[in-house]
Chains A and B, each alone.
Chain A
């Protein structure tokens, strides 16, 4: 499986500049690049030094609606060329337009009947302009979705901002996506891309946060509140809420082992009904009958194939699921989860 790294970020946030830098690193020597631009004349690919058959410009404009087929065609074409021995690559980077919602591209990778057998999600890297980000996230939902979908965030133009402004922005980004590692362009390519595109990507992400991997290093809260429910001692992690955006992130901690089948029933129904407003779901689950934890990753309606992690991260062995939501009540989601799991237990007991 060839990993596909998605490089996204709002207009002018420095995606192409970062891509230029990433491509100079020896580890990216074997990367094929797809560039998508919004506009009549594509320029971004001209800004890259390396122009060869593995750099493809997608010309149809906005990647989130019209270009989905074109992304699929371009990836299929790259795969065919490689199969015929005409080009060589070991990973793909897709640079989206600044107006793109990353979800449809991830969906294409998962749902396309051919692509899903050859390509896999290698991680979402989002650039955030430290000067203009506050305005962008308040006025453009695409910017919020890009941040929420990120596995890693790279702050750009930090040399043009005051340290206090950068810190305030970091806190705000942490409220939108507490699970993402936030870096600046000063970080080395190794750090920016560490684990991206590897087959052990889920483990890499889960281990980044140290003691609380799902809440991640961006998390700035200290208090953890316990709420005990009827059937499960599910611990309610403190909310991160951005009032201006209506974006909330919270995590559900469940101490009992989870019935995978009912969990799937619950999450598919939740995403079917509210996927548009669930920007991100990410979790480590203790499943009944399983020794090792299962990692799940979802963006809106899409859930990536769950992966087995090798080991439990630091801390107690309990399931933790992080949600990034817009306009949904964390309390109601927790109550719903408990009710579904209770139904599962009641059914099992009756049999």
Chain B
């Protein structure tokens, strides 16, 4: 987390390391970095909604994930995202799972 700009996603995840405006954490203005952080949040939430989980920023420093049953989990690095999601939902999240893919395909065809 960058303490100066308060932007989400300043952990050392490989997806940070692409040099275009707003993506690489040290290269460009705060606004575009925030926008990229929000894009990442939306992208993750689009997948997490399959398990009815929701990801948000917690105090501008960490991520917080919540479940529909009131469970929550706070973590600092994006690399923990999927293991936290599985722990919180108590179920596997497999991108090759037929049910997940069909669920996505249904949403795409709406």
Contact = CB atoms under 8 A, between A and B. Distances in A.
Interface of A: 116, 230-231, 259-262, 264-266, 268-270, 272-274, 287, 289-290, 294, 303-306, 308, 328-329, 332-333, 335-336, 339-340, 342-347
B14 A343 contact: no
Contacts of A305: 14, 17
A262 B20 contact: no
Given A264-B43, A273-B95, A347-B46, 7 more contacts: A265-B46, A269-B47, A274-B94, A294-B18, A306-B14, A344-B43, A345-B108
Contacts of A274: 94, 96
Interface of B: 12-15, 17-20, 23, 36, 39-40, 42-44, 46-47, 78-79, 81-83, 92-96, 100-101, 104-105, 107-110
A260 B47 contact: no
A335 B101 contact: yes
Contact of A268 (B20, B82, B101, B107): B82
Given A260-B23, A273-B82, A266 B95 contact: yes
A265 B107 contact: no
8 contacts: A230-B108, A262-B46, A264-B14, A269-B47, A273-B94, A308-B19, A340-B95, A342-B108
A265 B15 CA distance: 9
A347 B42 contact: yes
Contacts of A231: 108
A343 B23 contact: no
**Most chain A beta-carbon contacts within 10 A, residue among B46, B93, B104, B109:** B104
A339 B104 contact: yes
A343 B93 contact: no
Contact of B101 (A287, A339, A346): A339
A343 B108 contact: yes
Nearest to A343: B104
B15 A273 contact: no
Nearest to A266: B95
Contact of A265 (B18, B36, B43): B43
Contacts of B83: 272
A268 B42 contact: no
Nearest to B17: A305
Q: Report the 7 A-B pairs with minimum CB-CB distance, sorted nearest first.
A: A264-B15, A342-B108, A305-B17, A339-B104, A272-B82, A303-B14, A261-B43
A174 B97 CA distance: 29
B46 A287 contact: no
A336 B50 CA distance: 14
A288 to B, nearest CB: 10
A344 B19 contact: no
Contacts of A294: 18
A294 B23 CA distance: 13
B29 to A, nearest CB: 16
A343 B18 contact: no
B36 A340 contact: no
B100 to A, nearest CB: 8
A58 B24 CA distance: 36
A116 B94 CA distance: 30
B47 A340 contact: yes
Contacts of A259: 43
A265 B14 CA distance: 11
B14 A304 contact: yes
Contact of B93 (A273, A290, A332, A335): A273
Contacts of B94: 273-274
Contacts of A287: 18, 20
B81 A268 contact: yes
B14 to A, nearest CB: 4
Nearest to B16: A305
Contact of A343 (B39, B47, B79): B47
Contacts of B43: 259, 261-262, 264-265, 344, 347
A270 B108 contact: no
Nearest to B82: A272
Given A272-B82, A343-B108, A344-B43, A336 B101 contact: yes
Nearest to A113: B12
